Amino acid sequence: MENLIKQLEKLDGTEIVIKADGNYPDKRSTEVQHVAHYQNDGTATIKPAKFVEKAVRAKRGWATPVFKAISKYLDGLEWELDTVGLQISKDINDAVNRIKTGRLKKSFGHKIVTK
């Protein structure tokens, strides 16, 4: 039981962070992450695409693999959280439908962050 409590304490504050890495080859070398934000949420001149929200609605089952990953993590299989992160970032990549250059479409990745 003590080992389980230690594992739970290690898991506290852990997040799966999805980020679009890289830069566009323009004069300002705009970060792809910023473009993703502008495209998803919109600006004064850009209509919001809401592709993240579309991915969430289409993939409501993310909670199930997260819970499975946590239970396996508690048994010592930490790589399960990476598997969930890969699936979430893939689902968001699949939902991006506005930028045809590929830089935004395939830029999303994940990392496991413990606070």
Query: To which residue do tokens 């968001």 refer?
Result: 92
Tally of domains within the chain? 1
What residue numbers bound the domain in which 90 lies? 2-114
> What's the pTM?
0.59
15, containing H or E segment:
strand 14-20
Average pLDDT over residues 41-46: 94
List pLDDT tens digits, range 56-104: 888 777 877 777 777 777 766 666 777 888 888 888 888 886 666 566 7
- Rounded distance between C-alpha atoms, residue 6 and residue 50, angstroms: 39
SS3 content of the chain, % helix, strand, coil (to 5): 50, 15, 35
Residue 7: per-residue pLDDT:
75
